[in-house]
Amino acid sequence: MNQDFVIFDLETTGLSPAQHDIIQIAGVRVVAGKIRESDLFFSYVNPGGPIPAFISSYTGITNADVRGAPGLGQVLQDFSRYVGAATLIAHNGHRFDMKFLKESCARHGLPTRKINYQDSIYLSRLVWGKCFGGHGLDAVLARLKISAVGSQRHDARGDVDLLARAVEKMWGMLPGPSAHAALTVYEGVLPALLPA
């Protein structure tokens, strides 16, 4: 597998891309099927308003964390530059993360470019089919015996690390390159690449 991927995760102030804001983005690059642990992206995002208390309780991200962070336009532009031509991967990304990226670009008037992405929840379904426990990240980690000890769940950095290890293992469980080719490649958007 010679394709480059960026596995990423977002944390947000809620579940609605039209009403809520991104507060954290993390990513790690995967080249030739191997995680490049030193090739990381991370940023808090200042949402321009307070983070709901229940979100801080769930994610551990506080108003103090984002107070001095750059705004969304800058962070998304930096993330787009980091991604380059790689294919994005997020868990449940088709229903959540990629919709947030698209809506956030639209709400902030950012010119966009097309980017390919895959959803690792479908990779899990390709590996296990219909199975007890479903295909949420916690269920996938449990089936793969990947321990979350030492990783902060629902923090983008911790989730990206765990997801990258899970994707690497699931790829190894596929019967061959043709099986990976069966994964749907979707088209999403990121900010257009502007001069640094």
The reply to whether 118 falls in a domain is: yes
For 91, phi then psi, to 5°, come to -90, 120
Domain CATH code at residue 103: 3.30.420.10
Residue 60 domain boundaries:
4-191
Q: What is the mean pLDDT of each run of 10 residues along the chain (196 residues)?
A: 87 94 97 92 96 94 96 96 97 96 95 97 92 90 92 89 95 81 92 82
Give, to the nearest 10 degrees, the angle between helix 72-83 and helix 97-107.
130
The reply to whether 196 falls in a domain is: no
Half-sphere exposure of 94 (CA within 13 A, CB side): 11
Per-residue model confidence (pLDDT) at position 149: 86
The reply to whether 77 falls in a domain is: yes
Is 48 in contact with 22 (CB distance < 8 Å)?
no
The reply to whether 19 falls in a domain is: yes
Per-residue model confidence (pLDDT) at position 11: 97
Per-residue model confidence (pLDDT) at position 192: 96
Domain count, the chain: 1
pTM attached to this predicted model: 0.94
* Residues β-bridged to residue 24: 11, 44
Token pair listed for 13: 């102030």
